Amino acid sequence: NAGVTQTPKFQVLKTGQSMTLQCAQDMNHNSMYWYRQDPGMGLRLIYYSASEGTTDKGEVPNGYNVSRLNKREFSLRLESAAPSQTSVYFCASTPNTDTQYFGPGTRLTVL
């Protein structure tokens, strides 16, 4: 049981490049989330998915898109990366019991 996995762990992009952050969970959880963490800002919700086939915007969705490919996988795409998107990105899931399970994070730098 791997829990929540994220790939890649680290990434450096140039402004304007695109990339997809991958997230998968093997706990059969319904809800999945993408957060970004910036110093002094806590965690801010980018997008979430309450169930397979549904996605909704969070607090800071601009510049991002998501896909809930199936119950296990929830990807985050940056179409045209900007320096303001330099951050640590966390994926999380929950079986709707109020405990969120977090992945180890992806550290993204946009030059």
Partner 1 sequence: AQSVTQLGSHVSVSEGALVLLRCNYSSSVPPYLFWYVQYPNQGLQLLLKYTSAATLVKGINGFEAEFKKSETSFHLTKPSAHMSDAAEYFCAVRASGGSYIPTFGRGTSLIVHP
Span from 16-24, 33-41, 69-77, 79-87 in contact with partner 1 (CB under 8 A): 33-41
**Does position 89 bind partner 1 by CB under 8 A?**
no
CB 101 within 8 A of CB 3: yes
**28 makes contact with partner 1 (CB under 8 A):** no
Tell me the closest approach of the beta carbon of residue 39 to partner 1, in angstroms.
9
Residues 45 and 54: beta-carbon distance below 8 Å: no
Please give the sequence-ordered ranges of beta strands (E in DSSP) within 4-85, or none if there are none.
4-7, 10-13, 19-25, 31-38, 42-49, 56-57, 64-68, 74-78
Per rule CB under 8 A, is residue 90 in the interface with partner 1? yes
Distance CA 44, CA 41 (A): 8
Residue among 17 and 86 whose Cβ is closer to partner 1:
86
> What residues make contact with partner 1 under the rule CB under 8 A?
4, 31, 33, 40-45, 48, 50, 58, 90, 92, 94, 96, 98-100, 102-105
